[in-house]
Amino acid sequence: MSELVDCRGLSCPEPVLLARQAIQREADDTLTVIVSNAVARDNVTRTARAMGRQVKVEEEGEDFKLQISK
Amino acid sequence: MRDRLFIIIAGSVVGLLAVILVLQGNPANMGFCIACFIRDIAGGLGLHRAGVVQYLRPEIIGLVLGAFVTALYVREFKATGGSSPVLRFALGMLMMAGALIFLGCPLRMVLRMAGGDWNAFVALPGYVLGVWLGTLFLRRGFTLGRSQEQAPVNGYAGPSIAVVLLILLLAAPAFIFFSEEGPGSMFAPLTLTLGAGLIVGILAQRTRLCTMGAIRDLILFKDYHLFLGFAAIFVVALIGNLFTGQFIPGFAEQPVAHLDGVWNFSGMTVVGLAAVLAGGCPMRQLILTGEGQSDALITVLGMGGGAAFMHNFGLAGSPAGVAPAGQWIVIISLVILFIIGAANIKMPAKNKSKERAKAS
C-alpha cells in the first residue's frame, strides 16, 4: 500500500519537508504526493530526484500528483 | 543544470539593473529595496507623513505586474488564500519593522554589501540567525495552515492595486505626496524603473528567486539552488559598482544607513525570522501577489501598515541611528515572532494523510 502525502494548499518548504520525511520513512516503497501549486511541484520533484528517486508528474484538475518511486 | 544557469542569470540581471537604477537617479545602494519602496508608496498615499520618503515607486508596480503577466502566460496564476490572514498581516508589519530599523530589506542588504557598506556585513549574520531560528520552527512542524482556492477576484486584487498605483503616479493628483527632498525625491526615469520592475518580476516568477529561501534551503536541505541567485546579485552588483565608481568601502557616512551595529544585526534577525514564518522575503511576497495569492497580498499590505506605524510613531531608524523606542520595537517584534512561531506548531500532516490513504 503506497503512502499518500496530501500537501494541497501548503506552500514551500512545507511540501518538501513532508515529502522528504515520507521518502525517508518509506525507503523502498512508492509514494504519492499531491500538491496544488507549480512551485511545490518543482521543488518536491527536484528534492526527490536529488534523493535518487524517480518522479512521474500528472496533472489532476487544479492539482499535481507526483508518483515517487525508486 | 539549465535551472541553475537560469537563476544565476536572474540574480545577475537584478544586480545589474540595481546598479543602473542608482546611476540613473535612485538613492545610492538602493537600486532595489522592496521594504523602502513599499514604505515610500505608503508615504505617497499619505499613510505616513515622513516627508523625505514619499513616492509611488514604479519598481514595486512592475514587479507585481511582471509576475502577474508571466503567471497568466504560463498558466500558474491561481487565486488562493485564507491561510492565517491576520497572522500574515502581522508578519508583514514585523518584517517591515525590522527592515526599517536596519534601513533595507534583504535585497538592499545585499546591494549595500556590494556597495562597500560594511554595516550591511554586520546585518548579514543577523539575517542568517533569523532565518535559522525560523527553520527551527519549520522542523518542529510550524505551518500557517492550508490555503484554499478562492474566487478569481481575490487573485486579481493585487495586480489591480498595482494598476491603480500606476494611474495615480501618472495622473499625480493633489492628494498624492511626492518628496521634494531626501531619498523619496531621488528616482530614475519612469520607463527605466517600471521596466526594471517588470523584467525582475518576470524572472523572479520563473526562477522563484527569494533572498530568504536562499538561506533557508541551505540550512534546511543543503540545497544551494536559490542561493546561486542570491550570490549572483551580490557578485554582479559588486562588479558593476567597482566599474562605475559606486563602490565606497567603509562604515561611516554610508548612504541611507547608520552605524548602530547591534540594531543593524537584530533588525535583520527580525526580518529573517518573519520572512521564514511568512514563507518568503519581501520581494517574493510581491511575486506571489502577482500569481494571485491573496495570502501574499495581505503580507504586503501588512508591510505597508508596518511602514506607516514605524514612521508615524518615529520608530524607524535613520542615518542618526535607532531611537530607544525603535530598539524596543525590535525586542517586541522578536517576542511576537516567537509567539506566532510556537503557537502554530502542528503535528505533521503525515498521520492524517496516512489515515486518509488507508480509508480510500
Q: Looking at residue B348, what is its pLDDT? A: 57
Q: Could you tell me the end-to-end alpha-carbon distance of chain B, in angstroms, rounded to an integer?
A: 39
Distance CA B30, CA B27 (A): 5
CB neighbours of B143 closer than 8 A, spacing ≥ 6?
A10, A14, B344, B346
pLDDT in tens, B31-80: 999 999 999 999 999 999 999 999 999 999 999 999 999 999 999 999 99
Q: Do B147 and A9 touch (CB under 8 A)?
A: yes
Q: Do A6 and B352 touch (CB under 8 A)?
A: yes
**How confident is the prediction along chain B (360 residues), in pLDDT tens digits per residue?**
788 999 999 999 999 999 999 999 999 999 999 999 999 999 999 999 999 999 999 999 999 999 999 999 999 999 999 999 999 999 999 999 999 999 999 999 999 999 999 999 999 999 999 999 999 999 999 999 999 999 999 999 999 999 999 999 999 999 999 999 999 999 999 999 999 999 999 999 999 999 999 999 999 999 999 999 999 999 999 999 999 999 999 999 999 999 999 999 999 999 999 999 999 999 999 999 999 999 999 999 999 999 999 999 999 999 999 999 999 999 999 999 999 999 999 865 444 454 454 444
3-state DSSP: chain A helix, strand, coil percent, rounded to 5?
35, 35, 30
pLDDT at position B359, please? 46
Which residue of B lies nearest to A39 if distances are taken between CA atoms?
B208
Place of cell 541611528: B321
**Tens-place pLDDT, residues A9-50:** 999 899 999 999 999 887 777 899 999 999 999 999 999 998
Q: Do A2 and B213 touch (CB under 8 A)?
A: no
Query: What ipTM score was computed for the predicted complex, to two decimals?
Result: 0.93
CA distance B219 to B215: 6
Q: Kindly state whether A49 is in contact with chain B, defined as any CB-CB distance less than 8 angstroms.
A: no
pLDDT value of residue B152: 97
Predicted pLDDT of residue B360: 45
A37 contacts in chain B (CB < 8 Å) = 76, 78, 80
* Nearest chain A CA: its distance from B229 CA (Å): 16
Instruction: Report the Cα B355 to chain-centroid distance in Å.
Output: 39
Question: Are A2 and B220 in contact (CB < 8 Å)?
Answer: no
Torsion angle of alpha carbons A36, A37, A38, A44, nearest 10°? -70
Domain boundaries, chain B: 2-345
What per-residue confidence (pLDDT) applies to B314?
Answer: 96
Q: Under an 8 A CB cutoff, do B149 and A62 touch?
A: yes
Could you count the other beta carbons within 10 Å of the beta carbon of residue B235? 15
Query: How many angstroms separate the CA of residue A3 from the nearest CA in chain B?
Result: 6
Distance to chain B for A5, nearest Cα, Å:
6
Strand partners, A31: A3, A68
Tell me which residue of B159, B130, B173, B126 sits closest to B337, measured CA to CA: B130
| Cα–Cα distance measured from residue B276 to residue B230, given in angstroms and rounded to the nearest whole number | 16
Number of domains into which chain A is organized: 1
Domain holding A34, by residue range, is 3-69
Task: Give the dihedral sign, CA B98/B102/B104/B110.
Answer: negative
Q: Is the pLDDT reported for residue A1 higher than 90?
A: no
What pLDDT is recorded for position B355?
Answer: 47
CATH of the domain at A49: 3.30.110.40
